[in-house]
Every structure is written in structure tokens, then in C-alpha cells.
Amino acid sequence: MSSRTVLLLAAVGLLLGPSARAEELKETNLPLKRVVLFSSGVGFFEHSGLVHGDAKVELQFKVGQVNDLLKSMVVEDLDGGRIAAVNYGSKDPITKTLKSFAVDLTGNPTLAQLLQQVRGEKVEVEAPNKIIGVILGVEKHRKQVGDREFIDVEVLNLLTEEGLRAVPLETVGTLRLLNKDLDAELRKALALLASAHATDKKGVTLNFLGQGERRVRVGYIQETPVWKTTYRLVLSDEKAPLLQGWAIVENTSEEDWKDVKLSLVSGRPISFVMDLYQPLYVPRPEEQLELYASLRPQTYGQDLARKEMAFARLGEAPADRRLRMMVTPRGTAAGMGGGMGGMRGMAAAPATRSPASAAEKGFLEYADFATGQGVQSVAQAGDVGSLFQYVIHTPVTLPRQQSAMLPIVNADVKGKKVSIYNPRVQAKHPLSGLQLTNTTDLHLMQGPITVFDDGVYAGDAKIEDLPPGSQRLISYALDLDTEVAADSKGRPEELLNVRLLKGTMITGRKQIRETKYTVKNSGKSAKTVLVEYPLEAEWKLIEPKKPTEKTRDLYRFAVEAKPGVPATLRVELERTTAQHLAINNLNDQTIQFYLSAKVVSQKVKDALREVVRRKSEIQQVVEKKGQVTQKINGIVQDQNRIRQNMAQLDRNSEVYKNYVRKFSNQESEIEKLREESAALSRKEAELRKALDEYLMDLDLQ
């Protein structure tokens, strides 16, 4: 087997320079033979042909395309030759180049900042009179512009023949550097800035070394416009629907496509741009002579014995921890052949082969395909893993900066006219549509469809990706001959069952939702109307038993509507829910509702009655305790009145003595009442505890 050399251009930047034999190489043209366009906005371009002996190939690219070229370019000499250097024009960072001039323009400097850079230079200033002097510097002065307002103005200080002059920059009309060399440096820096805006092209030279006639090829990735699909669907009552599909492609490259093999891939390869064209410079430390260097902080290496001990402990660590400690990022060297193998794997397996020239041997060949009536389809579908592609059978010729429509499908498909009703789209009329089945062998990519019905434009539709054998609905117009009226009704919630569990009442409830649709067809022929109904996970379909179609979020029900005869559809759904209620929080009215419900078992009713009895007993204690508290409060209020009266009386009077006896009796009564209240509180706590224990022991259904 002959040796093959594959060179990834990403490594070309490391080469020291062009080959010594580059000037002796014979220039050879390597035509573009193959283009693969991806729907993610990139394209693969392949040049191939024959070279004789030592040869060089010149390719032209825009500056903006060089990064993709450096990242992806693959070069092959298939018959024993070898590849020398791949040369291209370098690009130094403009900021680095600008810094090399005497006047630094990298930071978008102001006039004052520029003048600071050229201090000591002689200038000619018109402000408005002509002044010649040497620049001392630029400073800011405070200038009053109102009664209390001040602004900073920049002033140029010059040393003239007459002495020092301060010239406000705002009064300067023109300023000229009298140093011709410095003036030339400034103009060169400005010219460099202007050249950075140019969109010029860069040449790339590929050098092939070897003997005799050999096959070579070059492949690379470039940014391209996204290719698109568009369809036409012709409907007829007598014939099957005709689907015609076109691919829209643009040639935005720098050369014409002449008889290239074109493939259109619907896929999303991961692609990014990395700046490989811009030269990178590594910052270097600045060192000083030892005589001038001050003492700096030091760092010290680890003791080797301790390092060995740490390594031994690492080996004794558990396997999972050791893996985390020892693993380090490392690159995996990819085989060169694998890269081109991936390119070869893109095409569909060929069905027939035609004789190939020496330059085409080993390259991709494409299968023939059947053609339909009228416009011939020039594409054949082939799966590429989870992707799909159209391989354009006929070689494509497309001048640069031009676009083309290429037919990719022209075949009869299966379809049935329907009307699609969704009140969220249109409350009164359904949409005219079609149940489209992809009976072709092609994977139809998403795109717009222009629909023609009986030779007349009927409307526009849109489809998503449609694999072979799949069916989709499309809609393209409003069906004004058909009306749909929807009437929604709700039924009272129904109690299904009641369970008592550990102080909680768990009730099962059923809700029923019903919608009745009335369809009126004013057309001349019968129609199938698909009624769309939202699908909700918690609601179960009861009537009809099964939908005609079911999507992720919709039911579809088919209604056959004859002209002049109303058709009806009843959709019924139910939902069961479980409600959790704390029994202790139920009032008597709520408990009475469940006691009267037929679905509640006798055991549950008896338990609820017992709860009512116990809560009633607790309530009696609470009320009695409240009465005792009320009595205590009344006595306390009376005592307050007695205290006020006693303060006004003589302590030896009979009235005062009577108040003292009454006060004493009230204190005894309060003491008894408080003991009674405490006893009632203890009883209430015991009853509540007994109720809680009773509720927690419940498990009835």
C-alpha cells in the first residue's frame, strides 16, 4: 500500500518558512470538485485533481476566512508524494505594529495626548496667528463660563523666540509638526490603521513534492449561508397530490462552481471560530542586572523524601479518590485517516458507477436515482447517522456571488383533504388542510409550501422535518364554507368516597367537562372536519372512547359533515381528585354534609358522629369555663369600684367596714372560681387529648 501524507493546516503556523524548492515548483490548478453545505451555516469544500512532479497550488481566500482555513484544512497526496510547507501571508497584531511608531495611536488618543507624546518637538500653530515654538506640554486651566460655572480647558504650553506662550487648544486652527521624520511616522501609522479596514484577500500556497503523475486533494470548512428548502403542492380531485421541492443555495465563495458534486446536509455539527491567523506573543519578564536588582521573595522546592512519602500515600488511597488525584487533562492524538474517512462517510452508497479518470479514483461517487414526470428531481437521499442529506446527482455549475434553486423532489404523494378546527385559531371557521403522507424516499426538510388546488393558488403552508413514511397536517386557507359552534358545559362535582386516616379526611371527587360541537357544511361535497381539543394530563377522555389522532398536546376527532346536514360531536372528559382535610377543623355543617352523603360508609358516619359528640363535649366545657371567667371579671370590676369608694371614706365609718367585709367575701369567691376555672381547663385539655388520640387511631373507609 502506498504511503499517504496528511497535513492539518492548523499546524502550519509552526513552520519556519517556505521550502527551499518552492521557487522551482510548477504552478498547477486544482479545481473545486465537491461542496457539502450544512444547514448550520458551514460548508465543506474539496479541490482535487492531478499534479506532475513537484508542483504548487495557489488558492485565494478572504481575510475573514483564514481562521476557518487554518482550523480545518486537510491536504492529501494520494500516490506516494509528500506535502511541503503550506504558506500564507502573516498578520501581525495592529496594536503591536502601531506601538513600534514614534507616535502611538493604539489608544485612540486625543489631540492633547498626542501633543504630550511629542514634547520637545518644534511645531507651527495657527491660533489664529501663526506661532512657532517647542512643545513644553499640555495642562488644564479652570475657566469661568457663568456666574458660578467653571469648565476645564486644555492649554498648549510653547517655548517661542519671544518666550513662553500658553495657547488654548480650542483656539488652534491648524498644527503642523516641523520635524519631517516625525510627521512621516505619524502618517505611516495612520496609513496602517486605514489598511486594517481593508477586506483584501490572502493567498495560500500548497507545495506538493514527488515524481510522476499523482492524485491530490484539499478539503476545508468555510462559513456559508444556510441552505433552505421550499415546496409546491398541487392538489386535484382526480389525481394524487404532486409535491415539488427545491433547495435554495448561494455561492458566496471566491470562485465559480463548475460541475461540482453538491451535497446538502441537514445537520447541526458543532462549529466555532478560533483566531489562529493573528500572531500571538508571549509576555516575557524583564530582568535587571544583579547590581541594580533588589532582594525578592523566594519560593522553594519540596523535599524529595517527603515527596516520595506523599506519592506512596497516594498509592494507598481508595481507587475512586486516587483517580481524582492522579487524572490530568491530556489531548488525544486523532488519526489523520479518520478525518478524511469522516468526509468520505457523508455520501450515500452508490448504486451504479461510471468509469472514473485517474484523478477521480478513490473519490466519492454518487448513486443514480429515478426521475419523476415534468421537472426531474436531481437529488438522492441518504442517511448520515441521525442526519440526512440530499446528494445532487447532476454536477452543479454556479458562478460566485450568485444563487440557484435546485429541484430535490418531484413526486406524487399521498394526501387527503380535511378541514381543521381549533377555536384558539379561529372561533367560527376551520382551516382548509391536507393530511400529507411522505411516500417518497426522501427526508423532507422543514420549509414553506405553496398550495395550488385545481390549478389555482390556494394558500401557503409550512411543514416541519418529515421523514419518509411520516404523516403531517398542513393548513393553507380559511374554510368559509364550514362553520363550527362549540358549547361547553360543566357538571356539579361528584363525591366518590370518603376515608378517615390519622386525623385526616381524604375525599375522592370527580369532575366532568363536556363540550358539544355542531358542524355545518355549506359546500357542495362532504368534508372531514378534524376538531382539535387540548390534551391535559389530569383529564381522562370518556367520550368518544378514542381520539382519531393524538399529539403531545392535542386530541383530534374526525367529524364527517355532509352538505346541508348538521353533524355533532360530544367530547366528555373526567378528572378525579383527592382532597385532604383535617377532621378537627371541620365544622358541624360540613360534617353534616358527609353524614348525609350516600357514598359514605356507616363506619365513617359513626366515627364522624363520635367526633361531633366529643367536640360538643369540649365546647360545653369551654363555654362553662367562659362563664366562670366572666364571673371573675365581674367581681374584679366591682372590687375596683369598692376601692375607689373606700378611698373617699373614713376608715372608722360603718360604710367603710361593710366594704371591707364585702371585699373579703369577694376574694374568697374569686379563689373558688379560679379553682373551678383551672379544673375546667384540665378537663378541656384531657378531652382534646382524648379527641386527638381518637382521631389518630382512625383508619376507616
What are 102-152's pLDDT values in tens digits?
Answer: 788 887 888 888 898 889 999 999 988 899 999 999 998 888 887 778 888
Asked, for residue 607, whether it belongs to a domain, the answer is yes
∠ CA 59-63-66, rounded to 5°: 65
pLDDT at 21: 44
Query: Could you tell me whether strands 379-384 and 242-251 are parallel, antiparallel, or unpaired per DSSP bridges?
Result: unpaired
Asked, for residue 601, whether it belongs to a domain, the answer is yes
pLDDT at 295 over 70: no
645 and 600, same structural domain? Answer: yes
pLDDT at 309: 63
∠ CA 198-191-62, rounded to 5°: 15
The 10s digit of each residue's pLDDT in 13-41 is 323 333 334 445 777 889 999 999 988 88
Backbone angles phi, psi at 610, to 5 degrees: -60, -40
Beta-strand ranges (E) seen in 256-378 are 257-266
Asked, for residue 175, whether it belongs to a domain, the answer is yes
pLDDT at 271 over 80: no
Asked, for residue 36, whether it belongs to a domain, the answer is no
The 10s digit of each residue's pLDDT in 187-228 is 888 887 776 665 566 778 888 998 999 999 999 989 899 999
Please provide the size of the chain in residues: 701
501 and 532, same structural domain? Answer: yes
Residue after which a domain boundary falls, among 551, 585, 619:
585
| 3-state percent breakdown (helix, strand, coil) of the chain, nearest 5 | 25, 40, 35
DSSP 469: T
The 10s digit of each residue's pLDDT in 537-584 is 899 999 999 999 999 889 999 999 999 999 999 999 999 999 999 998
Q: Are 525 and 563 in contact (CB under 8 A)?
A: yes
The Cα-based distances of 198 to 65, 67, 94, 195, 203 in angstroms read: 14, 17, 13, 5, 15
577 and 495, same structural domain? Answer: yes
520 and 607, same structural domain? Answer: no
Asked, for residue 473, whether it belongs to a domain, the answer is no
The parent domain of residue 614 ranges over 589-700
- How many separate domains does the chain show? 3
Residue 202's nearest CA partner among 61, 14, 318, 376 is 61
pLDDT at 351 over 50: no
With a pLDDT cut of 90, the percent of the chain lying above it is 40
Please state, in angstroms and rounded to a whole number, the distance separating the CA atoms of residues 333 and 353.
36
576 and 649, same structural domain? Answer: no
Asked, for residue 151, whether it belongs to a domain, the answer is yes
Residue 109's nearest CA partner among 32, 166, 46, 186 is 186
667 and 610, same structural domain? Answer: yes
685 and 608, same structural domain? Answer: yes
696 and 593, same structural domain? Answer: yes
Residue after which a domain boundary falls, among 188, 215, 248:
188
546 and 502, same structural domain? Answer: yes
The Cα-based distances of 605 to 60, 592, 683 in angstroms read: 92, 9, 26
pTM of the model: 0.59
- Provide the CATH number for the domain around residue 135: 2.30.30.720
Residue after which a domain boundary falls, among 188, 217, 240:
188
